[in-house]
Amino acid sequence: MSHTPPAATITLALSKGRIFDEIMPLLAAAGIEVLEDPEKSRKLILPTNRPEVRVVLVRASDVPTYVQYGGADMGVCGKDTLIEHSAEWGGAARSGLYLPLDLQIAKCRVSVAVRTDFDYAQAVKKGSRLKVATKYTAIAREFFASKGVHVDLIKLYGSMELAPLTGMADAIVDLVSTGNTLKANHLMEVERIMDISSHLVVNQAALKLKMAPLRRIIDAFASAIPAAS
Ligand code: PRP
Ligand code: MG
């Protein structure tokens, strides 16, 4: 059976978890209801109540890639993911991505955290070279360069909290939401780098080819964005 969709199909790339949960009300505002629960189903292509709209489930960091290469017409991902993707491609425009909306969902922040017994301020003041473990190398590189702090970046893909605990790094750059993960691992936030929320990402070529249906979805999302808090 072929999974190549008919030309009029609209494919939306989402990741499981907070983004999926928090986009549901915006999808509802656009008249779209996802018919299967990704936490229960093993399916990666989820049907919706609208025969021409389907959802593909991808890793959060793969959302811009799916949209860029046309595997999806549009997607939702965090500003953190977009910055890291853009750094690889020399900007959103170069990668053919159109970013029409900050959806104001899945809010969190990117911060620097260290062990509670590590004197970060003193290390910075002394001009020490810091070992920083992170998945967000572009954000971390730019941030420490702007502060004039020399860093050796260690690229990780998850569980960054372990790096300072095992002595592999002095600090981490990671997402903080409730702060519970830091607390549970005896780490503390020492700098807030930026606030994060999720954005709508659209393939520019798809926008031209499927202008009317994509515009309808973009406009419905725009009118249903939660009020800034
Ligand atoms: C994220 C982030 C932190 C945690 C922050 O990890 O990397 O570890 O959530 O949330 P909190 O402040 O509410 O505790 P996540 O579990 O999403 O996955 P990861 O393995 O990709 O780091
Ligand atoms: Mg984590």
Domains of the chain by range and CATH? 10-107+197-223 (3.40.190.10), 108-195 (3.40.190.10)
Q: Does pLDDT of 1 surpass 60? A: no
Residue 80 Cα to ligand 1 midpoint, Å, equals 13
Residue 109 Cα to ligand 1 midpoint, Å, equals 11
How does the average pLDDT of the chain come out, rounded? 95
pLDDT tens digits, 62-106: 999 999 999 999 999 999 999 999 998 877 777 789 999 999 999
Mutate which of 16, 136, 177, 178 to test ligand 1's pocket (most atoms within 8 Å of Cβ)? 177
Q: Which residue, 114, 201, 202, 117, is CA-closest to 161?
A: 114
Q: Which residues face 73 on adjacent strands?
A: none
Using the atom order of ligand 1, give the atom closest to the CA of residue 183: 14
pLDDT at 91: 74
pLDDT at 8: 84
CA–chain centroid gap for 37, Å, is 21
Q: Does pLDDT of 24 surpass 90? A: yes
For β-strands 151-155 and 130-134, DSSP reports them as parallel
Q: What are the structure tokens assigned to 192, written together?
A: 């807030």
Q: Looking only at Cα atoms, what is the longest distance across the chain?
A: 63
Task: Check pocket membership of 185 for ligand 1, CB cut-off 6 A.
Answer: no
Q: Which residue, 115, 125, 132, is CA-closest to 173?
A: 132
Q: Which residue, 147, 194, 154, is CA-closest to 170?
A: 154
Q: Average pLDDT of 151-167?
A: 98
**ipTM over 0.90 threshold:** yes
Indicate which ligand has the atom closest to the C-alpha of 184.
Answer: 1
pLDDT at 212: 96
Among residues of the chain, what percentage have pLDDT more than 90?
A: 91
Among residues of the chain, what percentage have pLDDT more than 70?
A: 97
For 91, residues 6+ apart whose C-beta sits below 8 A from its C-beta are none
Q: Does pLDDT of 109 surpass 70? A: yes
pLDDT at 3: 67
